[in-house]
Structure 1
């Protein structure tokens, strides 16, 4: 008579295969997760730099007697960046030049990796990358 439901015994050597598979897959999975996190954070900071540059150049375009590195323009951009939790950015603006008259605001920031994934991927050996934004607008006065 044939026995139904007889369990086969495990072939030797398969017991540790799950640990080996996890050891191979886990670093790749963590690399992917941390990479997505860092890319999203850098993208958010670039969008904030763009917003601050646009708002500052908008103010600069209607400021009478605009000079290079005007305090009000720099304060406008710095206030936006500070409210977003971004510190250490360098903000500069140009006086109205050219034909037609135009003014430009430049913002530069050194982005520091939070997770350490950037240097691991070879993006930067120092753990930082430069981010910048620039906006130009016609001078209205």
Structure 2
């Protein structure tokens, strides 16, 4: 019959205490990465909507409204200053491309890894469809 070792009574509790912080950091990292991935997808879709409006209507104000409508689920919301439209479509001439870029500072959900991360979404389309 085996005797229980009295010197190893608390060993599993100590091992558990050493592993739990690592597991918590891992779970929080997975949650933050998933959130950032979702926000990046939203930014890309919003940039596509904005560039589509810009290519068809050539109206930066309407493109910004389209971006804000497409990214309405983001908190904090996308502002006009975060939507960059460097060039507009020419009135005449050959086909050129128009670009809409959204620079967005995404705050972390937990704040455990810092304040946030800078994300961007870009859309490019030929003018006049």
TM over 0.5: yes
Structure 2 alignment gaps of length 5 or more: none
Aligned 1:5-16 pairs, distance under 5 A: 6=1, 8-16=2-10
Query: Following TM superposition, by how much is the alpha carbon of 1:73 offset from its aligned partner in structure 2, in angstroms?
Result: 0.5
Q: Give the corresponding residue for 1:134.
A: 122
In structure 1, what is the Cα distance between the partners aligned to 2:54 and 2:70?
Answer: 15
Q: Give the corresponding residue for 2:89.
A: 96
In structure 2, what is the Cα distance between the partners aligned to 1:42 and 1:26?
Answer: 24
Q: Give the corresponding residue for 1:124.
A: none
Q: Give the corresponding residue for 1:85.
A: 74
Residue 6 of structure 2 aligns to a residue in which SS?
coil
Query: Following TM superposition, by how much is the alpha carbon of 1:113 offset from its aligned partner in structure 2, in angstroms?
Result: 1.3
* Bigger share in helix: 2
In structure 2, what is the Cα distance between the partners aligned to 1:74 and 1:31?
Answer: 38
Contact 1:81–1:87 (CA<8 Å) still a contact in 2? no
Q: What is the count of residue pairs matched by the alignment?
A: 123
Contact 2:68–2:77 (CA<8 Å) still a contact in 1? no
Query: Following TM superposition, by how much is the alpha carbon of 1:99 offset from its aligned partner in structure 2, in angstroms?
Result: 5.7
Query: Which of these two proteins has the greater Rg computed from alpha carbons?
Result: 1
Q: Give the corresponding residue for 1:60.
A: 54
Give the RMSD, CA atoms, in angstroms.
Answer: 2.0
In structure 2, what is the Cα distance between the partners aligned to 1:23 and 1:54?
Answer: 48
Query: Following TM superposition, by how much is the alpha carbon of 1:87 offset from its aligned partner in structure 2, in angstroms?
Result: 2.8
